[in-house]
């Protein structure tokens, strides 16, 4: 499928959607009129509906039910829910080709454009939010903005994600080094990493590792892979600054480069979880759900901050639920969305270890209380920084991020300098982007 024209996501996405709640709701289908001032909104909870949910994130039906499905069936007994698991073969496009009705799509931020917008499934929720009197003041604005495009909110986030700093306490204890703290800067964290990059007992220990693609995808400066012109946007001074501090400087201590030369790859999850030769690892939250985390003593603190961006963490990266433009049950779909972001349900998710999308203090304070890691002080790591502004997204980000990652490892191993890497990546990516436009 050809690439549609790219429209940047703006930080005002939720704000514009909220403003539209006071606008006329004419011109949309299958929605209720706004209630009179002071009147309660009409409830559609008892109006039967057959809602087909497509799980684009790939969760099994068992996982879906454990997290969301069972609660929805209990809350809405008049609704019939059908869940379809997405896979490499079972895609949104294959559902369209087969004529399969889809009312709701469960997808990540990364799939919103390719699966929802580009397939014509996007539906502006502003009229429904007005008629259902959605209280937007409860929401974490940046997280909702992430699921907006050109000021239109297409889905509600169910839980958030973002970057944190994991650390292996066993390595810190082995070398008598103090643990990292919440609120540290990149300079402070890099210096701490230098103290832990050493060879001992035939093992090369590395102080600080960063998941390159995750760091760039959720970078605090909100720098996109693809610019408004549809071309690669990574060969700039701002991007050079981002990469130098967060990707390259952590690898400059003696022994680190030699390790990368021997492995010929960037730092990955296994360095931290299985090989256990990495003291600190910047990675997307939820890595702690991996079984390997039960095999060592770990901790977690907030993502290091840049000196010119104090208190700003990574961009939000939520999973959301989207009402499709073709659904005949949009009001019932909004009942579902509104329940899933209610304090009642967000409390359940928070206790299970999923980052809530509401600002309610009690919900946040309950984070992880039903998990095996309830004593890890994770909430402090999650809320020390405020989320960065969501950056403009493109369905073709991978055409830039893939060659960028391949070229950055050459910089880390001394085969290429950064300026050359960014220039070569730009050329490679633009060629691929032009080819995608022609398809």
Same domain, 194 and 225: yes
Same domain, 139 and 182: no
Which residue bears the tokens 């104090």? 310
How are beta strands 152-153 and 148-149 bridged, if at all? antiparallel
Q: Is the torsion defined by CA of 84, 89, 92, 95 positive or negative?
A: negative
Q: What is the pLDDT of residue 24?
A: 37
Q: What is the pLDDT of residue 19?
A: 44
Which residue pairs from 235-240 have beta carbons closer than 8 angstroms and sit at least 24 positions apart in sequence? 235/422, 235/423, 235/425, 235/426, 239/422, 240/418, 240/419, 240/422
Q: Which residues contact 74 (CB under 8 A, 6 or more apart)?
A: none
Same domain, 225 and 368: no
Same domain, 265 and 347: no
388 domain-assigned = no
How are beta strands 319-323 and 155-159 bridged, if at all? antiparallel
Same domain, 200 and 136: no
169 domain-assigned = yes
Same domain, 206 and 83: no
What range does the domain containing 296 cover?
163-314+396-438
**Residue 18 CB neighbours (<10 A):** 20
Same domain, 91 and 189: no
Same domain, 177 and 270: yes
* Domain at 64, CATH number: 3.40.190.10
The pTM of this model reads 0.87
Separation CA 350–CA 363 (nearest Å)? 6
Q: What is the pLDDT of residue 36?
A: 60
pLDDT digits (tens, 9 = 90+) for 403-438: 999 999 999 999 999 999 999 999 999 999 999 988
Which residue bears the tokens 């995750």? 214
Count of structural domains within the chain: 2
Q: What is the pLDDT of residue 11?
A: 40
Same domain, 66 and 137: yes
pLDDT digits (tens, 9 = 90+) for 277-331: 999 999 999 999 999 999 999 999 999 999 999 999 999 999 999 999 999 999 9
Separation CA 153–CA 146 (nearest Å)? 9
Same domain, 348 and 400: no
Evaluate whether 409 touches 257 at the Cβ level (below 8 Å).
no
What residues in the chain have per-residue pLDDT under 50? 1-13, 15-32
2 domain-assigned = no
Same domain, 322 and 300: no
């Amino acid at each position: 499928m050809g690439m549609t024209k790219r429209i940047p996501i703006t930080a005002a996405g939720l704000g514009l959607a909220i403003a539209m709640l006071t606008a006329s709701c004419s011109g949309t289908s299958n929605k209720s009129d706004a209630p009179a001032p002071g009147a309660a909104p009409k409830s559609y909870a008892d109006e039967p509906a057959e809602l087909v949910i497509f799980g684009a994130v790939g969760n099994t039906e068992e996982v879906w039910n454990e997290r969301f499905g069972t609660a929805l069936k209990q809350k809405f007994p008049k609704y019939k829910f059908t869940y379809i698991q997405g896979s490499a073969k079972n895609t949104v496009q294959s559902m369209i080709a087969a004529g399969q009705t889809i009312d709701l799509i469960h997808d990540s931020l990364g799939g919103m454009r390719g699966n929802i917008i580009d397939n014509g499934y996007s539906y502006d929720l502003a009229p429904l939010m007005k008629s259902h009197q959605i209280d937007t003041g409860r929401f974490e604005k940046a997280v909702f903005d992430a699921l907006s495009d050109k000021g239109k909110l297409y889905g509600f986030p169910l839980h958030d994600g973002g970057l944190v700093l994991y650390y292996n306490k066993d390595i810190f204890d082995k070398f008598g080094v103090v643990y990292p703290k919440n609120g540290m800067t990149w300079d402070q964290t890099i210096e701490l990493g230098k103290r832990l990059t050493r060879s001992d007992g035939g093992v090369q220990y590395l102080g600080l590792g960063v998941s390159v693609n995750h760091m760039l995808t959720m970078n605090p400066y909100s720098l996109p892979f693809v610019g408004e012109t549809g071309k690669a946007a990574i060969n700039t001074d701002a991007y050079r600054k981002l990469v130098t501090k967060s990707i390259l400087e952590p690898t400059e201590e003696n022994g680190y480069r030699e390790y990368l030369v021997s492995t010929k790859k960037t730092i990955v999850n296994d360095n931290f979880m299985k090989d256990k030769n990495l003291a600190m690892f910047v990675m997307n939250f939820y890595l702690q759900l991996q079984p390997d985390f039960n095999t060592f003593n770990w901790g977690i603190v907030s993502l290091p901050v840049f000196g010119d961006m104090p208190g700003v963490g990574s961009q939000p990266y939520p999973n959301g639920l989207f009402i499709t433009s073709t659904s005949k049950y949009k009001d019932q779909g909004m009942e579902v969305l509104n329940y899933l972001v209610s304090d009642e349900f967000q409390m359940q998710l928070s206790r299970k270890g999923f980052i809530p999308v509401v600002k309610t203090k009690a919900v946040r304070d309950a984070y992880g209380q039903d998990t095996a890691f309830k004593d890890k002080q994770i909430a402090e790591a999650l809320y020390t920084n405020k989320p960065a502004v969501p950056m403009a997204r493109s369905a073709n980000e991978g055409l830039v991020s893939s060659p960028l990652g391949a070229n950055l490892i050459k910089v880390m191993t001394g085969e290429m300098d950064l300026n050359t890497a960014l220039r070569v990546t730009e050329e490679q990516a633009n060629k691929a982007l032009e080819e995608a436009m022609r398809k």
